[in-house]
Structure 1
Amino acid sequence: MPLLPGAEPFRHEGGRVGVLVCHGFTGSPQSVRPWAEYLAARGLTVSLPLLPGHGTRWQDLQVTTWQDWYAEVDRELRALTARCDQVFVCGLSMGGALSLRLAARHGDAISGLVVVNPANKVHDAAAPLLPVLRHLVRTTRGLTSDICQANAMETGYDRVPLHAAHSVRQFFRLVDAELPQVTQPLLVMTSPQDHVVPPADSERIMSRVSSKDLRQKLLERSYHVATLDHDAEQIFEDTYDFIARLAPAVKGEGTTTSGGA
């Protein structure tokens, strides 16, 4: 099945500090690729996988579950930890939830986390009905391109299969229960105007993690897909500064303009 434009995974071999970047539900690497490329250009080793069922057509997402999505990022994390001295994890929306579960499960193997508008709950009023509704209705409207900046578009699905929506709801509940196991330094970036994931999800996450080094940055000029919005450059800079503070070796990696696919 051909990939949507920009949905290709991205990998860059850099220095001994690695970063795993996770995209969101029904989206693709396109939504966070500028984030990954910014870090790669500064000498970090970067992995941005395509989650199973994403980046093609919504019918492919319908037959996948959270176990498939999590297995993919878990595999990429293990590859990075084998290659690098320190590894950080970044994620947008559901990618933030994936990042938090990786942190809860892998402990000291992860040196820090950066999450942008992390999702913690399915807020649709029909969510409690999903166990039954998914057998009666195949899809609902899509979630992509909640972006303030004119002419910016997110590559993703215009429909959400309800089987997958049911699975992501189960996943969010699992992650919420595991949040106290997250102890790593954590930077949470939150858009006050987000039409997909309310800021309450960020507040819930910050109230439940056990991280002592916990910081929040508000993205006042951006909607949900802030990595493609007005605050994108600030997100990228703050992420690099966060990593450099915790892994001083990155300052010696130098800057490169080469990339990978």
Structure 2
Amino acid sequence: MGKIGCLLIHGFTGGAYEVNPLARYLRETTDWIVSVPTLPGHGRNLHLEDAHAREWLAFAEEELERLWRYCDIVYVVGFSMGGLIATHLAIHYPVSKLVLLSTAALYINTGQIFRDLHVMVKDATRRRLHENEWFGHYKYKLLHTPIRATWEFRKIVLTTRPLLSQINVPTFIGQGLMDGIVPPKAARYVYDRIGTYQKKLYLSQTSKHLICYASDCNDLFGEIAFFLNCEDHPDDG
């Protein structure tokens, strides 16, 4: 087998930090070239005023082509919106395997959001809101995400979702059952619609949206590594 590369793509309004725990795991357990680029306008500090869906897709294509300069085989991992971008790459380029985490084919999980908000209200009444991880993570995003950028995200969803049946490479689908952004049913939606019979569905009992930070993330990472290293991928959904 030739040199292997793995491209990890983060989500909308996110950055490399969203998938860095998985990237570290893969670097520590393999000799692969692991690439975790930051999409234009994204990162810890957001600059999404002039963001365009086509720019995000083109950037991901360039990063994929860069990996192929050094690798014979390339896997693509996508988180949230990055899962849709990864789907685009797998359909249009000879990607060997695909990993989709918390993929935003459907969104918003209102039930979980109300549960999270209830926790936030309790924290606020106890004057502990600043300690609430959910609140701190999304407050900045809400204040720095232009409406137009959200429409660009929707373009990614609306143009990619109808193409799921064209995926014909082995695909791993991971989803947190406590995700407040992407409803858990999105994972089954993707699983049922992708064209490949070589697919695996993994559900985390404890994970919210940032699945790479769940308390059981090491189990998830082990499953992903096994999937990517395995030559045979039976349908086990």
**Normalised TM-score (structure 1):** 0.73
Partner of 1:218: 203
**How far is 1:167 from its partner?**
0.9
Contact 2:109/2:181, CA 8 A, preserved across alignment: no
Separation in 1 of the partners of 2:3 and 2:137? 31
Judged with a 3 Å threshold, the aligned counterparts in structure 2 of structure 1 residues 236 and 183 are, in CA distance, closer, same or farther, namely: same
Is contact 1:121-1:173 (8 Å) kept?
A: no
Pick one of 162, 175, 178 that aligns with 2:160: 175
SS in 1 for 2:154: helix
| Structure 1 residues 56 and 216: alpha-carbon distance in aligned structure 2, compared to 1, 3 A threshold | closer
Letter matched to residue 157 of structure 1 = K
CA distance in 1, matches of 2:185, 2:73: 31
Structure 2 match to 1:234: 219
Q: What secondary structure, in the 3-state scheme, does the structure 1 residue paired with 2:40 have?
A: coil
Q: Following TM superposition, by how much is the alpha carbon of 1:99 offset from its aligned partner in structure 2, in angstroms?
A: 0.7
1:77 corresponds to which of 56, 59, 64: 64
Which structure exhibits the higher relative contact order, with contacts defined as CA atoms closer than 8 Å and separated by 6 or more residues?
Answer: 1
- Structure 1 CA distance for aligned equivalents of residues 106 and 178 of structure 2: 17
- CA 1:215/1:56 → structure 2, altered by over 3 Å: closer, same or farther? closer
The question of 1:165 aligning with 2:150 is answered yes
Query: Contact (CA 8 Å) 2:109, 2:183: kept in 1 or not?
Result: no
- Counterparts of 2:44 and 2:102 in 1: how far apart (Å)? 24
Task: Specify the code of the residue in structure 1 equivalent to 2:149.
Answer: A
- Conserved 8 A contact 1:113-1:184: yes
Q: Which has the higher helix share?
A: 2
Q: Secondary structure at the match of 1:180?
A: helix
Aligned match of 1:146: none
One-letter amino acid of the structure 2 residue matched with residue 196 of structure 1: I
Matched, 1:186 2:171: yes
Unaligned runs of 5+ in 1: 1-14, 126-149, 248-261
1:233 is paired with a residue whose SS is helix
Question: Residues 246 and 17 from structure 1, CA distance in 2 versus in 1: closer, same or farther, beyond 3 angstroms?
Answer: farther
Partner residue in 2 for 1:203 = 188
CA deviation string 1:176-198 (max 9, x = no partner): 12111110000101111110001
- Give the structure 2 partner of residue 35 of structure 1: 22
Q: Pick from 32, 50, 53: which aligns with 2:38?
A: 50
Q: Which runs of 5+ in 2 are unaligned?
A: 111-131, 233-237
Query: Relative to structure 1, is the Cα distance of residues 223 and 56 closer, same or farther in structure 2, using a 3 angstrom cutoff?
Result: closer
**What is aligned with 1:98?**
85
Contact conserved, 2:4 with 2:74, CA < 8 A, in 1?
yes
Secondary structure at 1:163 match in 2 = helix
Alignment partner of 1:89: what SS? strand
Within 2, Cα distance between the matches of 1:123 and 1:235? 23
Q: Is the CA contact 1:49–1:72 (under 8 Å) kept in the aligned structure 2? A: no
- Identify which range, 238-247 or 116-125, moves more after superposition: 116-125
Whole-Å Cα distance in 1 between the matches of residues 137 and 79 of structure 2?
12
Distance 2:146 2:180 in 1: 19
> Aligned letter for 2:220?
I
Residue type at the aligned position of 1:67: R
For the 8 Å contact 2:14–2:44, the answer to whether it is kept is no
Return the alpha-carbon distance in structure 2 between the equivalents of residues 162 and 222 of structure 1. 28
